[in-house]
Amino acid sequence: DPSGRRRRLKQIRHRHLRAIADAIAAGAKEFDPAKRQTQYARAFNRANEESYVFPVSSIPNVLAHT
C-alpha cells in the first residue's frame, strides 16, 4: 500500500526531527555551558546523521566535465 508506506516514512522523519528539536530545547534551558554544549552537540550530530548530501568536489558548481 503506497499510502501506508508514505505514512510510515513521514512518522520516521518526524521522529528524527523531534529528536533534534528536543536536544535544542534542552540546550536552551541549560545554564551550565558544558551541559549546554553537550545538548547542542547532540542536535548537531543528529542533524549531520540525517544529511544525505555530501560534497564530492571543492568547487560545488562544477558537477561533471568531459
pLDDT tens string 14-31: 777 888 888 888 988 999
C-alpha cell at 64: 561533471
Instruction: For residue 17, give the nearest of 46, 52, 53 by alpha carbon.
Output: 46
Q: Are 42 and 16 in contact (CB under 8 A)?
A: no
Query: Number of C-alpha atoms within 13 angstroms, CB side, residue 55?
Result: 6
C-alpha cell at 60: 560545488
pLDDT tens string 28-46: 899 999 999 999 999 888 8
Average pLDDT of the chain to the nearest whole number: 76
Q: Are 36 and 27 in contact (CB under 8 A)?
A: yes
